[in-house]
Amino acid sequence: MSPIKAVITGIGCVTPIGIGVQSLWEGVQKGTSAVKAIDRFTPEGLRSRIAAQIDGFHAEDYMDKKRAHRMDRYSQLAVAGGRLALQDAGLRADSVEAERAGIFMGSALGGIAYAEEQCGQYFNGGFRSVSPTLGFSVFGGAASCNLAMEFGFQGPNETNAMSCASGAVAIGRAMQAIQRGEADVMLAGGSEAPLAPLSFGAFDMLRAMSTRNELPSGASRPFDRNRDGFVMGEGSAVLVIEAEHHAKARGAVIYGEAAGFGLTNDAHHMSAPLPSGMQAARALRQALAAADLSPDDIDYVNAHGSSTLLNDVTESKVIRDVFGSRPVAVSGTKGLYGHPLGASGAIEAAITLLSLRNEWLPPTTNLDEPDPAADIDLVSRYARETRANAAVSNSYGFGGVNAVLAFRRA
């Protein structure tokens, strides 16, 4: 029996360049970086003092005020993304068989920023000053569990913590659950809210973040010769993934097919990629094989493109290894919204699907002088208006995690 096709029918997102699928796409087309001086806290003593923040997000616009008050920002972003995704899919939560609907989410840090805030409360005023919601707000699974309670979905549910690849891992696992017939509908994606002093500072101490503080909008520059690190961001993106027969039965508009997923580990280093890129290339080949696609079938690669010195060069090797001399369009979109850690793979999956549907491949923002070591077919400066039939989205995380998603055009 052939696997059930998993199709995407809804996209919900809360990002620094736009809230909602239409605003996200307009932000991608506009091509203007959302990175600016961080104002969530005073970054005194830090090398990096810039971030991609979300302005204009009010949790009460997407959920009951009382429920919003019981969630930290991490869970609020997740629930808002889920609600927007269901609205975009034209799918009422109460129209789905609850036990056949599930949720897979991903996050690098979960509610750690809220825990950090509450630690301050504790040190200033003792236990009585700490929120009673702390215990069930900070654990990573709060994202998928709050989504389940919000919409009554009783099927498969988990939130993985595979660092910057976690959003992509969640989508891949949801795709597989649909293909195996374990659910008819899945919400899947990533959420991250890491902009707090200690959480932010921990990455600053790794010297992995850009210090281009005087020109924030030019700080995140994937594959550029003059890149000096990533820029931390926040956000969420959630996809509605359905069994094809379920989507067609209700006349849903389909963005594309989630066709393949690959997942490997470098087993090399906590923060540096395996220099050869061998395991990242294997994850890409796994995704293609699972989707029954060959390298020649792929028209676009949405790169992880973190804007770090090591990652971009290694990813370029991976792309050359898998696609050889054949030109395949590649762009990294983190120049627009920075690196929202575990949400990035989900945001980039959404952008990849929109690129397939709209026949428009986004450029790589801030790519002024491509790194000679990245000799791949980079989409730079100007977008390409072209029909792409299949695409992949790469996501890599701390600990050597490599996750790749393969999509087909609807």
Q: Known catalytic residues?
A: 164
**Alpha-carbon distance values, 194 to 13, 169, 304, 305 (Å):** 17, 19, 19, 20
Mutual angle of helices 166-179 and 344-358, in 10-degree steps = 60
Tokens, residue 250:
């209700």
Mutual angle of helices 112-125 and 73-89, in 10-degree steps = 150
49 vs 201: CA distance, rounded Å: 10
Residue labelled with tokens 């899919």: 89
283 vs 45: CA distance, rounded Å: 39
Type of residue numbered 46: L
Tokens, residue 275:
């220099």
Residues 6+ apart with CB under 8 A from 252: 9, 89, 90, 91, 242
165 vs 351: CA distance, rounded Å: 16
366 vs 223: CA distance, rounded Å: 9
Element (H, E) at 258: strand 256-265
**Alpha-carbon distance values, 346 to 8, 15, 253, 339 (Å):** 12, 11, 20, 12
